[in-house]
Every structure is written in C-alpha cells, then in structure tokens.
Structure 1
Amino acid sequence: MSPISVCPNCGHKFDAGEAMQKHLEIELKKNMEQREKELALRMEQFKKQLDEDKKHFETEEKKKLWSIAQQEAQKKIEEKNASLIAALKQDLEAKQKEIVANRQKELELLKKEQELKHQQELMKIQLQKELMEKTSLIEEAAKKKKDEEFELVKKEFEKKLEDQKALINEMKRKAEQGSMQLQGEIQELALEEILKRTFVYDTIEEVGKGIRGADAIQTVINEFGQICGKIVFESKRTQNWSEAWIEKLKDDQRALGAEIAVLVTQVMPKDMERFGQKEGIWVCNYQEVVSLVFVLRQILLKTQSVKSIQENKTDKMGLLYNYLTGTQFRQQLEAIVEGFSSMKEELEREKRAMKKIWKEREVQIEKVIDNTIDMYGSIKGIAGNAIAPIQHLELPEGEI
C-alpha cells in the first residue's frame, strides 16, 4: 500500500510514490524531447553542411563520397541515439529502484505509525475502561449513599405524615366534641347573662360544671325584698329532642323546691311548634325565654302578693282584674315583645360571631390537610414508587 500524503497548503491527499514516479517520467520525457530536439537541430545543421558540401562535389566520385559520408553520419547518429537511449534507460531504472526503496521506507514508516496508533488506541481504550470502572464504583457508592439518605428522609416523612394524620384526626375530634360542648356552654352563658341583665332585682345562680342539677336558678324577688319563688332552667343545644330531659328537669325542680321549671332547647318536641307546657315543664327556645320568664315571674310576683293579702281577697282580686285589663299590663306585654326582639337581634349577632370562629377553625384544619397532601405529592413525584402509598391519599381501585 502506497503512503498517502497531504498537501500543507490546500489539504489535498495524494499517493507520494505514484506522484514521484509521474514526476520522474515527466522529467525523463522532457530530457528525451530535449535530446530529440538537439539531434534534430544537429541533423538539420548536418544536412545544411552536406548540402553545402554537395555543391562542391560535382563528380560521381564526390557523389559516392557524399553517400558514404552520409551513411557514416547516419550510423554515428544512430549509435549516439542508442547510447543516449541506453543511458536514459539506465537512469530510469536507477530512479525506479530509488522510488521502490523510498516506497519501502515509507511503508515501513507507515507500518510503524499504524502500530503506534494501534498502541495508542489500545492504551486509550484501557484508560477509558479503567475510568469507567472507577466511575461505576463511584456512582454505585454515591447511589448507595443517596439511597440510604433517601430512606432516612422517607422514614422521617412517613413519621411526620403519620403524626400529621393523628394530629388532624385529634383536631377534628376535639373540634367536633368542642363544638357541641361550646355551643351548649355558649347558650348557658348567654341565658345567665340575659337573665341577669333583664331581671336585675332577682338572684341568678349558676350551677357548676359536674354538679348534678339544673344549669341555672332564678330566685324571684319583689320590690319589697320578699322572695316570691324559684325558677330552674335547663339549657339544651343539640340536633335531636330527648324525652329524658323532661324527667330530669322534674327531678331537679323537686330537689331544689322550685315553683317553675323551664327547658330552653334548640329543637322543640314534635308536638310543639312554639313555647308551651309539656308534662308540667315549660319548653321554649332561646328567643322566647325572656318573654316567657317575664310572664312566669309576674305570675310568681302576683302569687306572692295574693298570698300576703289573703285577708282582703275580694279587693285584691278586683285589683288583679283591673291590673290585667289595664294599660300597665298591656305596656308590660309590649315591653316583653320589645325585649324579645332585642334579644333575638343580639342572638343573631352572637350566632354570626360563632360561625365566623368555626369557619376559621375549619379553614385552619383544611390548610393543614392541604399542606400535608402537597408535601406528600412533591416527595412522591421525586421518589416515585420508592414511597409506599398512603391509603387515605390514593384513589380506590377502579376509580382511576
């Protein structure tokens, strides 16, 4: 295989041996053409000389001499041409041998160059192999470390997620339980407050939590400071009516020696649409309690008044009749209605305030749940199936 060379100027690739051979052939051809031109020129000169000599020879002898001279000259020219051709052939053979030798050297250099390139490629492959092995070991070690770190992060996240779930469930349970209790306590406090504010001369007693008995006791006192009787109150703020409330309040009434018992409830019995008596117990809602208590209190006041003036019963009955049919009683009833309306408006304001508080708590719980779900989704997107699925955060089978 001939060596391939590259031109340093234009970058053209060519066969150096073949180019050398063509170059030598072109040089030989030029030499041959030059020699032929020289021979042709000499022949022309010789012919001219012969022509000139021929003019001087007119005899037959001169012609013969001319023919002999011409033959000898022709022979000399042929001998000289043969010698020149032999020299050129010998020179060409020497050049060809030199070209062959140069090609052989170039082949040997090319072979050594190929061997060197082969060794370099082998060394490069070996280095790449060693580098890949070291890289694989490093990546394996890094992956192992990363897996260990991820496992710790996963366990930490699962622990936090379980804690968050437990906290959410506990918050929901407390919120539900606290909401029911809070609603009842709010109504009890509101009932005590409105009784104290409306009936300033009476004594309103709160029954402590955990103590068996009614929620509040009102001791009715007239303008002379005389105790006219007691009214016991039981407050209920639930979604369902219970008949057991009546019996319990009766027991509390008997235990306290109260003349009247009032059950303030959010849900009325099925057979009652508004306040009234049920088995001897007055039943009303929160909006009606002031009006009802005002009437019941007047009954106790009048009863006490009647008791204190039994000796003048006829006159007192007339006074009572005049009172009931007079303007004062009508005005008092109007005051009851006005107080009822005022208390209803106040109750609505309190209801709106409590709804606001409950809504804020609900939003806080939802925020905790949403943030927990977002954190789980982010880690699930990074780790994929490496994170064990959480049942409450996955769709049931068949709903995907």
Structure 2
Amino acid sequence: MNFKAIAAGASTEPTLQCPNCNHEIHLTESLAAPLLAETRQRFQEQLASKDAELARKVEALRLAREQLTREREQLEDRVAQRLAIERAQLASSEGRKAREAAAAELQAKEAEAAELRASLANNNLKLAEAQKQQAELMRQQRALEEEKRELDLTIEKRVHASIGEIQTKARQDADEAARLRVAEKDQTIESMARTIEELKRKAEQGSQQSQGEVLELELEELLRGRFSTIFMASAFLRSREPVQSGAASRKKAFPNGMSSASSRDGMCSLGTSISIEASTRPSPVRP
C-alpha cells in the first residue's frame, strides 16, 4: 500500500490508496501514527544507511584520493628520479660528447700546431739556406768587385805604359823624322855648295864678264829652284824697275863696284855659311 498525503480544503490529511481498487482511505492520527513511525524509522534507517554509504563512499573517495595522491607523488618521484637519471645520463653523454669533441678539437689543434712547427722549421731551414746563399753571393760580388778594381788598375797601368811607349815611340819617330829632314837639308846644302864650287871653277876658266853672267844666271836658277818664294818676290820687284843693259844689270846686281869675282867670292861665302848653319842647327825634338 502506498502512503500518500492529499490536501483537501483547509486541512491536510494523509490518505492511503488501495493498490487494487485505487480507493483512498483517509488516515487518522491514530491509524497513521504507527504507520508514520514505521515509515519514519524506515526512512531514518534508509537515511542512516545512505549516510553510512555516503560516509563509506566519502571515506573510500578520501582513501582513493590519498592513494592517488600517494601514487601521484610516487609517480612524480619516479618521474623525478627518471628525469634525474636521464639528466645525469644526458649530462654524462653530453659531457662525454663534449669531452670527445674537446679531445678531437685539441688533437686537431695539436696536429695543426705540429704542422705549423714543421712548416716553421722548414721555413727556418729555407731562410738559413737563403741567408747562406745571400752571404755567398755578397762574397762573390765583393770578389768580383775586387777583381774588377784589380783589372781596372792593371788596364790603367797598361794604358799608361802603352801611352808612355806610344809617346816614346812617337818622340823617337819625330826625332828620326827631324834627323832625316836635317840630313836631307844638309845634303841639299852640300849639293848646293858643290854646285857653287863647280860654278866657281867654271867662272875662273872663262872670261870674267861672261863667266860672271853665266854664273849669275845658273846661280839664280839654282836658288830659284831651291828658294822659289824669295825669287818670286825678287822677280816681282825687278819687274817694277826699268830694263837695263847687261852691265847696268850686273852693276845693279853687284852694287858698290862689286865685281863678278867678288860676287863669286860672296856666293862661296854664302854656300859656306849655309853649310855651317845647317851643320850647327839643332835637331827639332817633339815633346
């Protein structure tokens, strides 16, 4: 049977409805009191049961929450530990990689340094060799300069010696040429003296007048051939004088009463003086 409270008018009375016929039965306080008490108790029990269930559920939920909290903390701890381990492993790996990279870089730098040292040593050897070659070249250059100075000095000495020899040879040649010219002049003067002697001898054999004229003409021709410049000037002066007779001409040629004999004597004296002058004249010497 269902209990149902139905409001009717101003008052409210609990009613019961029959499940078979659906008839409502009004409950009075006396009739309803036990039912209400039973119902109240049942509801209280149900409420208590529900409260207990709820308390159990709350407790279970609390326990579950605590469990979850513990599990979460444990998980967080495990995660933290795992992370720490992984971080340590990563740090170790990174450190190892860093150490390996640093070692490789150091090895590369050491290899580069070794290569640089080898290159420096090679360059030092090349520099030493170049300095040695430079010193040798400088020594050879000094030797060549010394040889050049010695060669120049030798050439200068030889040139001076050659110049001295050339000057001596030229002086000797000049002296020889002057001597030959003087000898030629001496021969010429001697020839003239012999010619004059021959003319003198011829003049003494003939008449004085004829021989004097012939002697004068021959002597004039001889002197004209030897001393053409003087006789050209003399001929020029004669051409400006009036033509005279042979005697006057001879008188003009031999003034102051000079005779043909005195003329011959004068010619002889002239020849003798020319010969003496030629023999006493010093030979020209070139510097």
Give me the TM-score of the superposition, normalised by structure 2: 0.40
Which structure dedicates a bigger proportion of its chain to helix?
2
Give me the TM-score of the superposition, normalised by structure 1: 0.31
Larger C-alpha radius of gyration, 1 or 2?
2
